[in-house]
């Protein structure tokens, strides 16, 4: 869990495009809302690696949502229930269920259907919100964090200082902390 956080800090402070970070968060939201482990989730995860985005932010948000799934599950369940019981879609869902391999996706589970619909609906707003927040963080919040007394104290520890310098050099940025 520390590695994705470190990569996210480097991405937020580095020259990685804000749209790549935003796309990573959006993918993390989609994958975090769908219960992990079914075929549908695995296919979406594999598909996500075919697009250019920040994978550490995807993994971090996905992990956070999976951990907080108990708090998010009631909303996802309600959305899934509403989608699966749309009368006009019943023949479509029945046809899907009778196809080979498709039932393994567990599309007829309220959490899977709700996670997919909620993730798809929230994908664009999350992308746009994070794309706007990254420059605000880089321009306003990051300099204030660097000037905090605790950050300066941590940077004063020789091994942390050398590690931060090495990470910054590899990442091509001025300063990690």
Mean pLDDT of the chain: 83
pLDDT per position as a tens digit, 70-96:
899 999 999 999 999 999 989 998 898
- At 46 the pLDDT is 93
pLDDT at 172 over 90: no
- At 158 the pLDDT is 74
Q: Among 149, 151, 140, which Cα is nearest to 175's?
A: 151
DSSP state letters, 116-147: HHHHHHHHHHHHHHHHHHHHHIIIIIHHHHHT
Distance between alpha carbon 39 and the CA centroid of its chain, in Å? 19
Domain boundaries, the chain: 2-137, 147-177
Distance between alpha carbon 95 and the CA centroid of its chain, in Å? 32
- At 81 the pLDDT is 94
What token pair was written down for 131? Answer: 């794309």
pLDDT at 1 over 60: no
- At 101 the pLDDT is 82
- At 111 the pLDDT is 92
Task: Report the C-alpha gap between 31 and 172 in whole angstroms.
Answer: 30
pLDDT per position as a tens digit, 121-146:
999 999 999 999 988 887 888 778 77
**pLDDT higher at 20 or 171:** 20
pLDDT per position as a tens digit, 155-171:
677 777 677 676 666 65
């Amino acid at each position: 869990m520390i590695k994705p956080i470190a990569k996210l800090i480097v991405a937020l402070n580095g020259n990685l495009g804000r749209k790549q970070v935003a796309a990573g968060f959006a993918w993390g939201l989609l994958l975090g809302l769908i219960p992990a482990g079914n075929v549908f989730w695995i296919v979406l995860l594999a598909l996500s690696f075919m697009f250019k985005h920040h994978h550490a932010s995807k993994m971090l948000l996905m992990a956070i949502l999976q951990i907080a799934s108990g708090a998010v599950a009631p909303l996802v369940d309600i959305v899934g229930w509403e989608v699966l019981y749309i009368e006009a879609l019943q023949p479509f869902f029945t046809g899907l269920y009778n196809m080979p391999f498709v039932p393994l996706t567990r599309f007829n589970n309220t959490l899977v259907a709700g996670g997919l619909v909620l993730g798809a609906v929230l994908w664009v707003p999350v992308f746009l919100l994070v794309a706007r927040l990254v420059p605000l963080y880089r321009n306003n919040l990051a300099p204030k964090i660097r000037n905090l007394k605790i950050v300066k104290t941590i940077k004063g520890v020789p091994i942390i200082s050398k590690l931060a310098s090495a990470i910054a050099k590899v990442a091509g940025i001025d300063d990690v902390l």
